Chain A
Amino acid sequence: MRSCSPILAVWLLLFAGSSAEAQPKPGPDGHSLVARGEYLARAGDCIACHTAPEGRTFAGGRAMPTPFGTLYSSNITPDRDTGIGKWTAEDFYKAMHYGRFPDGGLMYPAMPFASYTKVTRADTEAIFAYLKSIPAVSQRNREHDLRFPYSNRQLILGWRTLYFSEGEFKPDPTKSAEWNRGAYLVEGLGHCGMCHSPINALGGTSQSEAFKGGLIPMQNWYAPSLTSNREAGLGDWSIKDITDLLQTGVSMRGVVYGPMAEVVHNSLQYLNDEDTRAMAVYLKSIAEPSPPSPASSRLPTTESSLLISLGKTVYDKHCASCHGTQGEGKPPHWPPLANNQSIEMQSAVNPIRMVLNGGYPPGTKGNPMPYGMPPFAGLLSDNEIAAVVSYIRTAWGNRGTPISAREANELRSAPLN
C-alpha cells in the first residue's frame, strides 16, 4: 500500500492544476473556442464517419457495415429538426461521455463513446461550440439496418456492462505532462483502441486487451498491436519516425496504407507538432519488449522452401526495382521491407493485401504527392502471391512465416472500401 506523502499530495495538486490549464490547448489557427473545437474535432476524426461520400460535411448518412448489420451515421450539423440544433452543451457532453441521446436513449458503440468518455468537459464543450458554428444541413437520419436480435437497442445495456467504463482521463502523476497529453489524445479523442484492440464476437474490447491489435471486422485489414514491437509497437522507433508517420503518412521505417491512411488523411495530419510529439512519446512508451517467438510455419518445409525460391524470382522481377534487392527500399517513399514489422508480424493479412491491392499513402500537407504501390492481383497467381509474400517475410533476417496460396486467395475477395 503506497502512502500519500504531503509533498506528493502538493505535487499532485500542482500537476492537476497545470494539466487543467494545459488541456485546452489552442488550435493552430487561433485561440477562440470554435477554432479549438475544430482542432479537437479533427483529433477525434468525427468527419470520417459523420460525412457521406459526396455528402455535406457532418450531415451524416454514411453507411457503416458491421457484423451485425449496417449502421448509418447521424447528422451532427446544427439543423434544428434533423441535426443537433436543439441539443444543449450538456446533451452533447452526455453523448460523448455516456453514449446517450438527450432523451436518455442508448447509442450504438460504433460511436466511440467508450474512448470519448475520457475527453474533458472543456474539450467537449469546445467541439460542441465548433459544431454549432458550421452550416446547418437539413438531412434526416437514415434508419439503421440491423439484423435481429441486434436491432433491439436494449442489448446495448449488456454490451455497456461488459465493455464500457465511464470516466474522464486521469493523468498518471508519475509520467511527464507530454506523456499524459499523448495518452489523453490516443486513448480519448484519437480512439485508436477502436481498431488496434482485439474485437470479440460481441463487438467489444476488454480493457486488459487494449492496443493489442486485431483484425478489423468487415474491412479485413489487420490493425497491428501498438504494444508489441513484433507488430506496430513503436518501442525501437525514433520519435521523429513516429511523428513523420502520423503527420505525413510516410516515414523512414514504414508507410500507412488501408484504414490508417484514412486516419492520417482526415485527422492526424492536422495535429500540431506538440500534440503529435506527445502521441509519439506515449505510443513509444506503451510498447512492451516482447521475446522473439521462434518462427513457426504451418507449411511443410520442402513446400515452403520451394515457395520461397519462387518468391525470390517474383520479387526480383516485380519488386526489387523499388524495394531494393536487399529489401532496403528508398524510404520514406518506397518503404523498406527488411526489418519492417508490418511485413514480419504474425498476421500476414496486410502484406498480402498490399501485394494484391497496392495502395497510395494519404496525400498530406507534408507529403502532397505520395508514391503508390501497384496492385498485383491481376498479374500474379495465388501461388505467386503466396511465394513473394513468403519470401519478403523470411528474407534479409525477417522473422515472419511463409503463407499458403489459400490465404492469398481468400483475401482476393476482401472489401476495398
Chain B
Amino acid sequence: MLARAVASAAVIVTLAAAGGAAAQTANQPPDTMAARVEACTPCHGNQGEGTNDVYFPRLAGKPAGYLYNQLIAFKNGRRKYPPMNYLLEFLPDPYLQQMADYFADQHPALPPVAASDASKEVLQHGQSLVSRGDPQRQVPACGSCHGPALTGMEPGIPGLLGLRPNYISAQLGAWRYGTRTATAPDCMQQVAARLTEEDVTAVAAWLASRPAPVNIAPAPKGTYVLPFACGSEPD
C-alpha cells in the first residue's frame, strides 16, 4: 500500500516535471548552435558565408581547428579587433570549439567571383607568387601550405578562396607589421615579412579572382608535408 502510494506519487511528480519541461521548452530559444551564434551573423552572415562588408571574412567551411585558433586568439587578445575581443572574452574554450565546429560544418556556395580592377601585370605577379613563390626571397608558394587547390588543410590551415581582396590584403598587412600573430613558430608572419606592399596587393587580387574549385573542402590532416614548421599546424 505504502509502496504503491509512493509509486503513484513518483509518477505524478515525473509527469509534472515533464509538463514543466515542455512548457519551458516552448517558451525558450531553440536549443541549437544556430540560435547561439546569432551574435556572429550581422558581420559573418547567417551561415558564415560573409556579408557585404569586405573586411568581414567568410567563416563557413574553414577548418574547425583554424576557426578555433582564431576564436581563442580573439578571446585572449592576441588577435586584436575590439568588437571580437569583447564578444568572446568570457566564453569557455569548449564552447568556442563548438562554435568553430558549427561554422566549419556550414557549406553555403562560394560567392561568384567579382571582376578584379587590378591590372594584368598585377594579376600576373600575384599568380606567380601564389603558385611558385619567390625562391630568391625564400617566399614559398601559397599552395605549399594552403594546398594545391588553395582550400587549406585540416586542422589549422585555412582555405584562401571565397575571400575578398580587401580582407586578404588587410590580413597579410597585419602579419607583415606583426599586429596579427599566431603560436610560434609563427610561419605566416615569417612569410609575410618577406613580402612587399606590392606583393600583398598582387596576391590578394589574384586569390580573389579565382573561381571556386569543385571540391572546396579542406584537405584531410597530413595530406602533404609543410615546407617548414608551423605552430598552428602541429605535426
Contact = CB atoms under 8 A, between A and B. Distances in A.
Tell me whether A and B are bound partners: yes
A330 interface: yes
Interface in A359-404: 359-363, 368-379
Contacts of B87: 358-360, 372, 375
Contacts of A416: 82-83, 85-86
Given A360-B39, A360-B90, A372-B36, A333 B28 contact: yes
Contacts of A359: 39, 86-87
Given A333-B28, A374-B42, A378-B53, A369 B86 contact: no
B95 interface: yes
B39 A358 contact: yes
- Looking at A262, A362, A375, which has the most chain B CB atoms within 10 Å of its CB? A375
Nearest to B72: A54
- Looking at A261, A264, A358, A379, which has the most chain B CB atoms within 10 Å of its CB? A358
A369 B83 contact: no
Contact of B90 (A261, A334, A357, A415): A261
B125 interface: no
B43 A375 contact: yes
Given A372-B87, A374-B38, A330 B76 contact: no
- Which label, helix, strand, loop or mixed, suits the secondary structure of the A interface? loop
A370 B42 contact: no
B119 interface: no
Contacts of B83: 357, 375, 377, 416
Contacts, number: 85
Interface size class of A (residues with CB under 8 A): 20 to 34
A36 interface: no
A183 B39 CA distance: 36
Given A359-B87, A371-B35, A334 B29 contact: yes
Contact of A370 (B78, B89, B91): B91
A411 to B, nearest CB: 13
Interface in A251-283: 261-262, 264-265
A53 B77 contact: yes
A61 B91 CA distance: 22
- Which label, helix, strand, loop or mixed, suits the secondary structure of the B interface? helix
A362 B95 CA distance: 11
Contact of A417 (B27, B38, B86): B86
A417 B82 contact: yes
B197 to A, nearest CB: 27
A322 interface: yes
A373 B39 contact: yes
A262 B92 CA distance: 12
Contacts of A334: 29
Contacts of A375: 39, 42-43, 83, 87
B90 A362 contact: yes
B36 A371 contact: yes
A84 to B, nearest CB: 25
Nearest to A324: B27
- Looking at B29, B76, B86, which has the most chain A CB atoms within 10 Å of its CB? B86
A375 B92 CA distance: 20
Contacts of A417: 77, 82, 85-86, 89
A373 B39 CA distance: 5
A376 B28 contact: no
A368 B92 CA distance: 7
Given A360-B39, A363-B95, A371-B38, 11 more contacts: A53-B78, A322-B38, A333-B29, A358-B39, A370-B91, A373-B39, A376-B42, A379-B42, A416-B83, A417-B77, A417-B86
25 contacts: A53-B78, A54-B76, A54-B78, A262-B90, A265-B90, A357-B83, A359-B87, A361-B90, A362-B91, A363-B90, A363-B91, A363-B92, A368-B94, A369-B98, A371-B36, A372-B38, A372-B39, A372-B87, A374-B40, A374-B42, A375-B39, A379-B42, A416-B82, A416-B86, A417-B85
For the complex of A and B, the 10 pairs showing the least CB-CB separation, nearest first, are: A372-B39, A362-B90, A416-B82, A416-B86, A265-B90, A363-B92, A53-B77, A363-B91, A54-B76, A374-B42
Interface of B: 27-29, 35-43, 53, 76-78, 82-83, 85-92, 94-95, 98
Interface of A: 53-54, 261-262, 264-265, 322, 330, 333-334, 357-363, 368-379, 415-417
